[in-house]
Structure 1
Amino acid sequence: MSASVGVEKANGDIIRGRALLDTCATVHFITEEFSQRLNLPVRPCNITISAINGIDTRSNGSVEVLFYLIHSQFSKKLSFLTVPKIADTVPNEHFPRSSIRIPAKLKLADPQFHIPRSVDMLIGSGATLSLFSIGQINLSRNGCDLYLQKTQLGWVVVGGVSSHNGKKIAICKLTELSKQIEKFCLLEENSAKHSGLSEDSECEGHYVQNTTRDTTGKYIVRLPFRTRVKMLSKSQVIALRRFYALQGKLNANEALKKEYSRVMRGWISSDHMTPLETEWENGYYMPHHAVFKDTSAITQLRVVFDASAKLNTGVSLNDILMTVTFGVSVAPFLAIRTVQQLADDEGDDLKIGAKTLKHDFYVDDLSTGANSVGELLQIRNKTTDILNRGGMTIRQW
């Protein structure tokens, strides 16, 4: 499984990289060459990495990398170990793409998955599984096991087919399962002792106590900060430095600057954003930048905010928010929890819509079905109605 992602350099620029999604690796890897291109600070380390047949390699550094999805506003920050090389070209030979039927409207995480190319990063099992979404298409046939799997990075191709010369090349990684389970249990035990599994319940309690609805039916949520961590301060310098770099890029592209300004003005007019009358010393100034995709039929320009931007103290906004079920950033939790709350609040009037929200949504994707067209139309109408009551509009069916 491979994905093409946008990776943020030290100066805020975005460059394209290629990542493998690996369900076996227990850590994440990045090539030394790609790490140098990013110009990010590397923390020294000395870690032995074991592979098949007792072959070992060594990592001498780790680096935190923020990468973005080419199709949406999704972003994720992970810590990678640097290694000289991750793999030979993947796939090892040209994949016969024309021999399989990929639905035309699917957004592939790596549109050039079939062309042998180098790999810049490898994303390990935990993060890979967290990226999986509901949705799978079976393309298997005689002689091959092949699937399309939906992820937050887009659809990925899983499996393979026989090579042109009839030979099959096997690539695998072996590990002693008992040791991995032992390590996993130890990690879970230490994690539970450190955070006390109560933080999930604390986050739920925070949501219940601090969430309100306005007169239009929309929900107003608050970020669940950890009470034991001080608020961020002195973040303005870093945010301004990133903004000046962004300003230079926008000034060099009048069309991009005009569109970026239009988005910002739209947020101000809809009260999603309020200009400050005076500067605040406390709080958190969040850096942002533009990601432009001219092939998108819906939103070509996205304004991406970076809540993982570190201060000189090494702390970011994401670092001081609770670690909730759905990852480091609380945005997915707040979105999912609000959809669940909408189902609770409006369920008495719209039982079918509420049931759909409770059972058939995965973040912002709906996957449902019925035994007749009539039932399906009813689900569509009632789901649309209940979402409208919360100020949420389904973009497409």
Structure 2
Amino acid sequence: MSFKCPPSCCICKRRHHTLLHRESKPTALNPPAAMLGRQKSPTVLLGTALIHVRDTVGNGQTVRALIDSASQISAITSACCNRLGLKPSHWTVPVTGLSGQKVPDVQGIVQLTIQPRGNPIPFINVKPWVLTAITSDMPARKLPAQVRARCNHLTLAGPTFDKPAPVDMLIGADIFPQIWNDKSRSLGPGYPSVYSSVFGWVLIGPVQEHPDIGAQSMLVSLVPSIESIMERFWKVEEPEAAPPQFTEDGLCEELFQAKMRRDSRGRFSVPLPFRSGRSTECFPGSRQVALNRLLHLERKLSGDQTLYNAYRKFMQEYEELGHMSIAEGAGQYYIPHHAVQKVEGEMSKLRVVFDASAKCHSGVSINQCLLVGPKLQQDIVDVLIGFRVHKVAFTTDICKMYRQIDVLPQYRGCQYILWRDSPQVIVKDYVLNTVTYGVNSAPYLALRVLR
């Protein structure tokens, strides 16, 4: 017959408490927690240096830096950054510390220059990350006087190494090779060693007779951000770009470099960049198409004498400047033209547009046979940023930019037009001698010459 005590039995409670007390009795293999806390560990010095950092107006300010080759990055506290007048640029790459713990409050990155105290060289450029704090005061408490006595004969990088003080900056492995010299000395058993740097001698190592009250580690690394991971993903997925000689842009550039000429006055003569196999393209009926367009234009201009006179003046100036001339023979392709009028208040501006996309009887135009060329226009973002670089900005326009560039004579047969001053005279063939607005390769040729 068995008997089970109720939960409220006082005798059983006392017995259970005695068993627990006996099981928790300390042994040689199981020391009590209080005994573990009394074990002494020496103070370990991390290398510190007083350096000069250039502030926003170029003056050198003294900053206390921690030198740690185990850190992938350099860092600076936000308080020191504000003291220097530096403004961090925003960044999104995560920073991690020991055990992969993410470093909070990464405020961005700055660019600055550091140098030794009392020595104008070397100048070292560094891009530290801006953090709220780097570490606590170092060392945690003042070191014994005998440590300083053993290194009084040395020029120390951190003269106040033995007194607790805040750390303003972390110098990591990104610039560590630029500051470290291949020299070291020992201060004796139980004392740290000294290592030579461009800032002076740096103390690193344990002080055996000086127990520490805590431990610190400055292992810092960068973690790939989601942006960099996505960038690598798209690079892997993106097919490899074709060599330039196998692309239309590369072929256009090759033709330009091979055939471009420059005369004694410095004026450029350029080729028309025909697509492969299309340079001898025949354009049947292109003259008739251009003639029909000219007759239609004359009927339109006859109803507006002011516009007609402006058109005559434009074509007369075109010929007087030598940008077009009377042709001596028939051309390959005739470019139709028409007027575009822009009214601004009481002023009216006329532009003659050449339609190089007009198709001949075979259904082909000159623009279909020409390469457009690579995009050479400056990106609008770069233009806007350029206005913020200097206090004063100047803009200018190149007068008749396209028409300052000659087309090589062997290509001018594809730039014929028809024109006459009035319907009472015979229609004449003219050849356009310069780069023509309306030809699809004209923007590339003009900007390429400008470069």
Q: TM-score range by the shorter chain?
A: 0.3 to 0.5
Larger Rg: 2
Structure with the higher helix share, 1 or 2: 1
TM-score scaled by structure 1?
Answer: 0.41
TM-score scaled by structure 2?
Answer: 0.36
